[in-house]
Amino acid sequence: MSTRYWCESAWVDGATAHGVLLTADDTGTLTAVETGIDTAPSDAEAVPGFVLPGGVNAHSHAFHRMLRGRTHGDGGTFWTWREVMYSVAAKLDPASYESVARAVFAEMLAGGYTSVGEFHYVHHAQDGTPYGSERPCGDAEDASDGVLDSSRAHAMERALARAAASAGIRIRLLDTCYLTGAIDAELSAEQARFGDGTIDGYMDRHADLIDTFAEEFPVNAPGESFVQVGAAIHSIRAVPAANLPRFAELTGPVHVHLSEQPAENEACQEAYGASPTEVLARSGVVDERLSAVHATHLSDEDIAILGGNRSTIVMCPCTEADLADGIGPARELADAGAVISLGSDQHVVLDALRETQGLEAGERLRSGQRGRFSPAELITALTAGGAHSLDLPVGALEVGKACDFVALRTDSMRTLGSLDEQIILTASASDVHLTVSGGRVRVRDGVHAELGDIADLYRQAFAALEMED
């Protein structure tokens, strides 16, 4: 059985096409993409407006969404914001984490994303005890029998996977290594649940997680690739340089927070006599599989290393603005050969269009020039760039890839009059009227097709954490 959508206009092969007929098989994989079809066939859903391949959110911390609108009262810094974040992380257990992530992933779909890279480091119980070794408090549902027993290993990772599957968003769970609280410093009490003790501890748990998810969430076709695992180095602060070469042993994507703050660069220079990028390069992990998140404070040498190795850069413009991180050298990185992608990080907003516009806005502000990234380049960053970062079969409307797309209104007060792909610079999440992943409608006019009102999901999430909404 196949599913068909007729799109009034769509982004196909790097250009705007009209009358686009998409056909997906029962696995949610595209089997045909036809253009120039004047009217919708009777067996196809007609999709008005402008259709884009589903946005790829290459950097997410799901639970950070619970801080939205709650950290601005006294200004502060990145480091004071982090303390508030730790207080929320301390509340999470598998049940509440699943509730939070389900709401966040539903909002992502409504905001124009169909895939996410979840940079996940809250692995263990509040006291640092691994799930599966001792039974911590709290139960939620389990993928196999309907009861997620938090005494089982990988309970937090299973919670994220279940949330993604229930929402219908494609997830690359970036299993994060977090061994030290700062360079040559032990983990703090707040960080205890993030760590695996040693690099061998991380590698063993990571390998078991891959095997577990391969069994519980098998992938037989591109459209079915809803839950997959990748690796992440939290930062140069959190993984000693001597441990970094171990990540070259892994296959698949490797992500890292890189040079987000000047203080990180200064500490790295003092400890290793090199920048974070140079430390990674010496360790053999800077290659096409690496995605550097933020990459805000880079030297010319850093840019040359990342670009020359065709690494991906994950820009998170709204978070970088919110935390006063600064504006990274996106244009220079792209010109050096790096792949540019986008993430929403702490979810100041979950709006794929605003995040994409923020990439160009930052470039204009720091350069005094317009058109630093063309509309086509911006669409590529949101779609194909993120697909490359996460190594997912998405990012383009083409045969053999997953049938994932979002449809934008072209007749709203924001978009009316926009010329074809220039809508990427005028639309907002409010203009996303349809989101499809795996060939299935997930969100229509802001309401999740199966989970219902997304605000209600957040009310449940705040209640689960005993936080006032």
User: What is the per-residue DSSP string for 108-130?
Assistant: HHHTTEEEEEEEE---S-TTSPP
What average pLDDT score do residues 98-124 get? 98
Residue 194 belongs to some domain of the structure = yes
pLDDT confidence band for 1 (50 / 70 / 90): confident
* % of the chain with per-residue pLDDT over 90: 91
Residue 8 belongs to some domain of the structure = no
- Does residue 428 sit in helix, strand or coil? coil
What is the C-alpha to C-alpha distance for residues 226 and 167, in angstroms, rounded to an integer? 10
Cβ 444 vs Cβ 452: under 8 Å:
no
pLDDT tops 90 at residue 136 = no
What values do phi and psi take at 388, rounded to 5? -65, -45
pLDDT confidence band for 143 (50 / 70 / 90): very low
pLDDT in tens, 318-370: 999 999 999 999 999 999 999 999 999 999 999 999 999 999 999 999 999 99
Residue 136 belongs to some domain of the structure = no
pLDDT confidence band for 135 (50 / 70 / 90): very low
Residue 184 belongs to some domain of the structure = yes
Instruction: Give the number of other CB atoms < 10 A from CB of residue 447.
Output: 12
Using a cut of 0.85, tell me whether the model's pTM lies above it: yes
What is the C-alpha to C-alpha distance for residues 89 and 317, in angstroms, rounded to an integer? 23
The mean pLDDT value of the chain amounts to 95
Q: Token pair of 325, please?
A: 């991180």
Residue 2 belongs to some domain of the structure = no
Tell me the torsion sign for CA atoms 441, 98, 113, 73: positive
Residue 203 belongs to some domain of the structure = yes
Give the pLDDT of residue 139. Answer: 42
Give the pLDDT of residue 374. Answer: 98
pLDDT confidence band for 82 (50 / 70 / 90): confident
Domains: count for the chain: 1
Give the pLDDT of residue 468. Answer: 87
Identify the domain containing residue 345 by its residue range. 53-131+151-398
Residue 408 belongs to some domain of the structure = no
pLDDT in tens, 270-318: 999 999 999 999 999 999 999 999 999 999 999 999 999 999 999 999 9
pLDDT tops 70 at residue 214 = yes
Q: How far apart are the first and last CA of the chain?
A: 43
What angle do the packed helices 155-167 and 199-216 form, to 10 degrees? Answer: 40
Give the pLDDT of residue 152. Answer: 85
Give the pLDDT of residue 79. Answer: 82
pLDDT confidence band for 144 (50 / 70 / 90): very low
Cβ 235 vs Cβ 280: under 8 Å:
no
Residue 37 belongs to some domain of the structure = no
User: For residue 69, what is the domain's CATH number?
Assistant: 3.20.20.140
- Does residue 84 sit in helix, strand or coil? helix
pLDDT in tens, 154-173: 999 999 999 999 999 999 99
What average pLDDT score do residues 422-435 get? 98
What is the C-alpha to C-alpha distance for residues 320 and 219, in angstroms, rounded to an integer? 35
